[in-house]
Amino acid sequence: MLFRSRRTARLDIGLVVASAGVVTAGPFLGNDLADESALLRLNLAVPAELAHVYGRALARRGRGGIILVSSAVAFSPAPYTANYAAAKAYTASLGQALYNELKPAGIDVLTLAPGPVRTEGADNAEGIDFGKLPVPSTQPAPVVRAAIRALGRKPLVIPGALNKASDFTGKYLMPRRAQTAMFGALVARALDEKPARR
């Protein structure tokens, strides 16, 4: 068992939160392949492994919760953070499927998909300044409160009115191609090195 180490084997764990993540920013071909592969490992494989290992433990217990942290960009391709958005799309799909699959075992699964959140990781991200995005960053506390309120009640929560509006627009009002171009333009403004124009 990869994660059920000696430190947690004897604990009566009731809630698992898979929130660690990393972002690579900039043109995909300009980024280091090792960095892109490490992103996939942490953002895609690790949440699945945590859900599998601790999901089995929670199923034996007959109750518990799993929160998988995705992102608002999971629901549309996002140029210049393409691999990050793709990995978060996987997490969003996994979490929403497990919401239904694990409910009979007494396990509440929630996918949390926030927009930019003021965290140490975001503040120190290489290649991008999230403060230059034309959307405000949210403090962690309201995001956590939204997740705790939604756990056991719904499969997905997107905290923040602007993030909800963006999700609605992408689903019902704007063609996917236009939304992808818009995300690309917004992210390009926040990059440390601007992408070359052709």
Give per-residue pLDDT as tens, 97-121. 999 999 999 999 999 999 888 877 7
Give the model's pLDDT for residue 35. 96
Judge contact between 47 and 26, C-beta under 8 A: no
pLDDT interval class at 128 (50, 70, 90): confident
Average of per-residue pLDDT across 141-145: 95
Measured between alpha carbons, how far is residue 120 from residues 111, 124, 140, 143 in Å? 21, 6, 11, 15
pLDDT interval class at 197 (50, 70, 90): low
Give the model's pLDDT for residue 68. 98
Judge contact between 95 and 136, C-beta under 8 A: no
User: Taking the CA of residue 195 as centre, how many other CA atoms within 13 Å lie in the half-sphere pointing to its CB?
Assistant: 20
For the entire predicted model, the pTM comes to 0.90
pLDDT tens for each residue of 44-97: 999 999 999 999 999 999 999 999 999 999 999 999 999 999 999 999 999 999
Sequence-distant (6+) residues with CB within 8 A of 159 are: 112, 114, 115, 138, 142, 143, 146, 147
